[in-house]
Amino acid sequence: MCLCRPQGSRGAGVPGCVRCAAALVAVLAVLLLVACSEAPEWRTQSLEADFPDLAFELTTDRSDTFTEADLRGNLTLLFFGYTSCPDACPTTMTRLRAVLDELPDAQREHVRVLFVSVDPDRDTPGRLAAYADHYGPEFIGATAELARLTELVQRYGSSFRHEPGRREGDYVVTHGSHVLAFDGDGRARLLIQSSDSVEAIAHDLRHLLAS
């Protein structure tokens, strides 16, 4: 006996049990969609709570020991690249500049872009400082010796590799183009990809700075 249709009735078309089942599936689907969907808080990728905190010991043109303590209280955007990079690095740095220009002055002064060079042989602290200064006062260039650099890069799930060029001493460094955002306490909050728009990044940074 089907509970969805009175006994004895012979309805045309779809049987009552099938209608019941279809209705049940539809209700479950709606409940599932409602449960799974939520108002998007972030437009870039939010990171899990157990992502490693910001921790480093680097060298800049002003300090041989530049650590995360020097950036405490600021929102830090960490990016690995090198000054001789043909396009990915200038593109990313220019985008970050555009993002900072989208922020109100009161928020912008609490943002720092930490550009860590993965080419310590060619990127001296002085060269890094000149490169970073080109994009604005919020940009900091730093590097370290290769072993420490490798450890730092791998800690955040990144990697780099030197590829030989066509001439002696001429090489390129293959690396990622993503940017990690750390809040004022050094907690990793966002993973910013090259596909994220300037507006989306600025939206998330405003949200972070306001919280």
Partner 1 sequence: MTSATFWHRDRQSATGRSLSFGTLCKRSALAALLLAVFVLAYGGTVALLMHQAAFLAAPGDRLMVVFPRDTGTATALERIGAAGAIYTGSSRWIHQAEVIDASAAEQLARDAWVMRFPGRPALEGCFSVARENR
Give the interface with partner 1 as residue ranges (CB under 8 A): 1-2, 10, 15, 17-18, 45, 48, 50-52, 85-88, 153-161, 163-165, 172-178, 191, 193-194
CB of 40 vs partner 1, minimal distance in Å? 15
- What gap in Å lies between CA 82 and CA 165, rounded to an integer? 15
Pick 140 or 153: Cβ nearer partner 1: 153
Amino acid in position 199 = E
Pick 143 or 177: Cβ nearer partner 1: 177
CB of 180 vs partner 1, minimal distance in Å? 10
Amino acid in position 167 = R
CB of 47 vs partner 1, minimal distance in Å? 9
Pick 65 or 159: Cβ nearer partner 1: 159
Burial class (CB in 10 A: 0-12, 13-18, 19+), 211: exposed
Pick 2 or 101: Cβ nearer partner 1: 2
CB of 186 vs partner 1, minimal distance in Å? 14
Question: Residue 172: what are its φ and ψ, rounded to 5°?
Answer: -115, 155
CB of 59 vs partner 1, minimal distance in Å? 21
Pick 63 or 154: Cβ nearer partner 1: 154
Dihedral in degrees, nearest 10, Cα atoms 122, 136, 98, 45: 60
Pick 20 or 198: Cβ nearer partner 1: 20
CB of 52 vs partner 1, minimal distance in Å? 5
Dihedral in degrees, nearest 10, Cα atoms 66, 69, 72, 75: 40
The DSSP letter of residue 207 is H
Q: What share of the chain is helix, strand, coil (3-state, %, to 5)?
A: 35, 20, 45
- What gap in Å lies between CA 127 and CA 143, rounded to an integer? 11
| Residue 25 structure tokens | 């599936």
